[in-house]
Amino acid sequence: MSTNTLSVVPVAIIAGALAGCASTPPPTMQTGPDAEVTVDGLVRIDHSVLPVVYVKPEIDLTAYTRFMLDPVDVAYQKDPRGRTQSGGAGATDNFALTPSQMEDLKGMFQETVVEVLTEDDGYELTAEPGPDVLRITASLIDLVVAVPTEQGGRGGVYTTSYGLVTLILELRDSESGEILARASDRRDPTRTRGSRNMAEVSPTYVRSDVMTMFRRWADVLRERLDELRMM
């Protein structure tokens, strides 16, 4: 397990790494009176690999050698319908996951992020805060389940969309709770395996597409942390 610390680099370079150095044009931190600044002091990054990225100016990551991953929270966009309820014409449905499906969703996300962060001589994870621990908090919000969950066991059922979900990712100092960076991205898991007009609603296909979406988010996080460590 590598114990290299994250090197001190100018804030513009750190911001670029968090946002995605490979994009064109390169990521840049907004400046001037029109810069977007959050209430907790983070500044918007333009041209990032994720649609929305904010970082703290003069961010310093030199002290962090380990990472603490919080359990993921999940929140529906609106109160979901029961398993047997249906909407009227033109209604936007948001169906409820069963308790076991919800726990499975959380478990898939957590396991994917842990796997990606620790594989290939990756990062040391800890359950306790400390002066060298960076806290990673992820939330899946505005969840829309577009297909009734009871259809998941039936064959021959197709849809243009399983639904939508937004990832909110935050990096914090584990002891003080100070926010250092925040990113968000909204995705439809039916689009993770390329452009398709229709997707089959089955446990196998839905799980595969959701896992692919989670893996892509985890890969972005790992790639950005690797770039910072190499710097």
How many other C-beta atoms can be found within 10 angstroms of the C-beta atom of residue 14? 27
Note whether 221 and 123 are within 8 A (CB): no
The conformation of residue 24, written as its DSSP 8-state character, comes to: S
C-alpha to C-alpha distance for 199 and 184, rounded to whole angstroms: 25
Q: What is the predicted pLDDT for the residue at 159?
A: 80
Q: What is the predicted pLDDT for the residue at 2?
A: 40
pLDDT per residue of the chain (231 residues) written in tens, 0 to 9: 443 333 333 444 445 555 555 546 777 889 999 999 999 999 998 888 888 999 998 877 777 889 999 999 999 998 886 544 444 433 457 888 999 999 999 999 999 999 999 998 889 999 999 999 999 999 999 999 988 766 545 556 778 888 899 999 999 999 999 999 999 999 998 866 555 567 777 788 888 889 999 999 999 999 888 877 665
End-to-end CA distance of the chain: 18
Amino acid letter, residue 60: D
Beta strands in the chain (DSSP E): 28-29, 43-46, 52-55, 66-69, 73-76, 124-125, 133-145, 158-159, 163-173, 179-187, 199-200
Closest of 227, 190, 195, 222 to residue 114, by C-alpha: 222
Closest of 168, 166, 170, 169 to residue 143, by C-alpha: 166
Instruction: For residue 68, give the 3-state DSSP assignment.
Output: strand
Q: What is the predicted pLDDT for the residue at 202?
A: 78
Could you identify the residue written with the tokens 């990521």? 27
Q: What is the predicted pLDDT for the residue at 205?
A: 82
How many CA atoms are closer than 13 Å to the CA of 75, on its beta-carbon side? 10
Note whether 213 and 189 are within 8 A (CB): yes
User: What dihedral do alpha carbons 74, 76, 81, 86 form, nearest 10°?
Assistant: -130
Could you identify the residue written with the tokens 């770039």? 227
What is the pTM assigned to this prediction? Answer: 0.80
Q: What is the predicted pLDDT for the residue at 1?
A: 41
- With vertex at residue 91, the alpha carbon angle to CA 90 and CA 93, rounded to the nearest 5 degrees, is 135
